[in-house]
Structure 1
Amino acid sequence: MVVFSLLVKLGFWQFERGQEKQALEQAILARADSAYQALSVVLEDNDWREESILGKKVEVNVVPQAFPVILLDNQTHQGSVGYLAFQIVLTSDEPSAYALLELGFVEGRAERSVLPTVTKLDNSTFITGRLYRKSTNPLSSELMPEVGDVIRVQNLNIAQLNQLLNIELMPAVLQPDNLTRWPYDFPWNPLPLNSAKHFGYSIQWFSMAGVFLLLTLIVFVRWQKKLRHMEVKHDI
C-alpha cells in the first residue's frame, strides 16, 4: 500500500501544480490586454512572486552597463539550438535598479567553444515590454558560469549572478517588445510546463495507482484461492 499511496500523492501533487499553472495562465492572459505601467512602480511594490509579475507590461528608460553579455545555454527556438542573450542595464527612473534585459534568441555555432557575437544596446533607450522569471530546474539550478568576453551560464540563477558580478539585479527579466529592426526573435515561454501537461501527468499517476491496486487485488484473490485450496486438500 506504500507504493499505491505514493502514486496517489504524486497524482494529487501534479493536479495541484496544474491548478496553480492554470491560475498563472489566466493572470498572464489578463495582463496581455492591460496598459503599460512604469517599472518604478513595480520596484516600489517589491512583489516578485510569479503570480504578481509574470507577463506584467512595463515601460522604462534603460542605460547599458559595462558588463559582459549573459548567454543562457541549451535553448531551442523554431528547431534551432542556441542561447537566450541578456544585457545588464540600469533603469534611469527612480528608484533605479540593475536589470537583465533580454536580447532574444541567438543561434549557436557548430563548435561550442566558439560563442556567437551578440548585438546589444549601445545607448540609453526607452523600453516597453513584459516581465518574467525563468523557472529553476529543481535538479540543477546552479549558475555554472564560464566567464570570458561573454558569460555563458547553464541556469539563470540571478542570486548567484549577483554574487559573481557584485551587483544586485532586479529579480525579474525584462523582455522588450518595441525594438525595431532587431536581429533576434523573442520567444515567449514564461511557463515551460503548462497546466495541461500537469493535468496530464496527474492522470498518468492516478492511472498507475489504479493499475497497481488492480494487480494487487488480483494477486490477493489468487493467493486466497490457493490458500483455500490447500486447506481443502489438508482436510481431505
Structure 2
Amino acid sequence: MSSARQAWGLRFWLVTLAALLVMAATASLGRWQLQRAAHKTALQATMDERQARAPLQGAELQQALDQAPDAGQLLHRRVLLQGQWLAGATVFLDNRQMNGRPGFFVFTPLRLANGNRVVLVQRGWAPRNFLDRTQLPDVTTPAGTVQLQGRLAGPPARLYEFAPTAPGEGSSRIRQNLDLASYAAQTGLALAPLTVMQTGVASEGLQRDWAPIDSGVDKHYGYAFQWFGLCGLVAILYVWFQFVRRSPPTDCPRDA
C-alpha cells in the first residue's frame, strides 16, 4: 500500500475517533440536562403542592418556624401574618428591578402578635430617585397591628457587590445586599430563619408584581435539545464527509 493510502487510512480513523468522542460527550450532556429537567419538574410539583396548602397563621405559623427541622421545608408556603411593623429597621435593597424598572426592594421586620418572633418581610418594590441616589422612596409604614398575606421565602437574593456601601446619608438603610445573620446581630432582633414575600395589590407606595415561582425546567429541556442537536449534527457531518463524499486517493502514475 502506498504512503498516500496509509495517510488516508490514518486520517479516517482519527476523524472517526474524534467524531465518536464528540458524539459521546454531547449525548452525555444532553442526558444530564434531561436528568436536571426531571429534578426541576419534581421540584416544581413540590412548590405547587406547598402553595396549594392552607395558609399558615397564628400559633401554627410560629410553631412551624420553631420546630421545622429544615427551614427549606416551609419555602413557598402561603402565610397570613398579624403583628406590628418595626419601621425603624426598614432596609432598602438597591438595584432591584420590577417590570424592567430599577429601584428598591423594601424590607421591614414584623413582630408577630402573641410572641417575640420577628419575621423580615419583603414588602414590595419602589422606584428610586436617580437625581439623588441617597433619597429614600416615599413608603408608608402603618402603625399599630397590621394583617398581611404572603409566602415564605429564603434570604434576600445577593447581587455582585463591587465595594461596600460608602458612608453618607442613607447609607445605613440603602444597601446592595442583606445578610440575615448580620442584620439580626445589628438590630438585636430574634429573626425567623426565613423571610416573607408580601403578596396582594399595590399599597403603601409599593408594587408587588412578583414573577411567578418557576423552577426553570424549560431551560434544561432547551439545553438538552441543543446538546442532542449538536450530537446529531456531528453524526451527519461524519457520514457525509467520511462516506458520501469520500474519494480515496489513487497512486500517482509512474513515468515509463
TM-score by length of 1: 0.72
In terms of mean alpha carbon deviation, does 217-226 or 173-182 score higher?
173-182
Alignment of 1:42-191 (within 5 A): 42-46=64-68, 49-64=71-86, 66-67=88-89, 69-94=90-115, 96-111=116-131, 113-121=133-141, 123-134=143-154, 146=165, 149=170, 150-162=172-184, 165=187, 167-176=189-198, 182-189=204-211, 191=213
Alignment partners' CA distance in 2, 1:213 and 1:181:
52
Question: What percentage of aligned pairs have identical amino acids?
Answer: 14
Conserved 8 A contact 1:101-1:175: yes
Structure 2: any 5+ residue segments left out of the alignment?
A: 1-23
User: In structure 2, the residue corresponding to 1:99 is in which secondary structure?
Assistant: strand
Confirm or deny that 1:206 pairs with 2:224. Answer: yes
Aligned length: 225
Describe the SS at the equivalent of 2:114.
Answer: coil
Unaligned runs of 5+ in 1: none
Deviation track 1:9-44 (CA, whole Å, cap 9, x = no partner) reads 13431342233123312421x13xx25521323323
* Residue 244 of structure 2 is aligned to residue 221 of structure 1: no
Name the TM-score, length of structure 2 as normaliser: 0.67
Looking at CA atoms only, which structure, 1 or 2, has the larger radius of gyration? 2
Deviations 1:87-131 (A, max 9, x none): 12333423x223213332211112362332443536332323223
User: How far 1:85 sits from its partner (Å)?
Assistant: 0.6
